[in-house]
Amino acid sequence: MSGGRPQMLMCYLCGREFGSRSLPIHVPQCEKKWLAQESNKPAADRKALPPRPERLNAILAGNNLNDQERARFNEEMYNNYDQDVLDKCPWCGRTFTAHAMAIHAKSCTEDGGS
């Protein structure tokens, strides 16, 4: 990369973006944090650690991406984050982090939405 913006890649667990050299450092730490947070929840509320997407394993192994591949990678990571990590409101269908869902649930109801 000569000049220009850093080429950011999304984490499948937290949705944050990292440089291609930082992501392999971040992902194992993010997975440990996920497991620690889930272990503090009541057993019935715990979620299993989502499996690492196949494309992520290639990045962690050191494979580089061109612009088009990076866009596909980030789209796939976002889809994993949206489907596997975020909680979906049963009334309005919007997705939230667990903390934001707790706040949202206070105002969104079956009969009124939010």
- pLDDT tens for each residue of the chain, 114 residues long: 455 566 799 999 999 999 988 999 999 999 999 999 999 989 998 889 999 988 898 888 888 888 899 999 999 999 989 888 898 999 999 999 888 998 999 999 877 655
* Neighbouring residues of 60: CB distance < 8 A, sequence distance ≥ 6: 23, 24, 27, 52
Residue 58 lies in a domain: yes
Maximum alpha-carbon separation in the chain: 55
Residue 92 lies in a domain: no
Residue 38 lies in a domain: yes
Residue 64 lies in a domain: yes
Residue 12 lies in a domain: yes
Residue 2 lies in a domain: no
Structure tokens at 33: 């944090």
Give the range of the structural domain holding residue 23, as residue numbers without chain letter: 8-85
Residue 112 lies in a domain: no
pLDDT in the model for residue 20 = 86
pLDDT in the model for residue 58 = 85
pLDDT in the model for residue 98 = 84
Tally of domains in the chain: 1
* Neighbouring residues of 6: CB distance < 8 A, sequence distance ≥ 6: 19
pLDDT in the model for residue 1 = 44
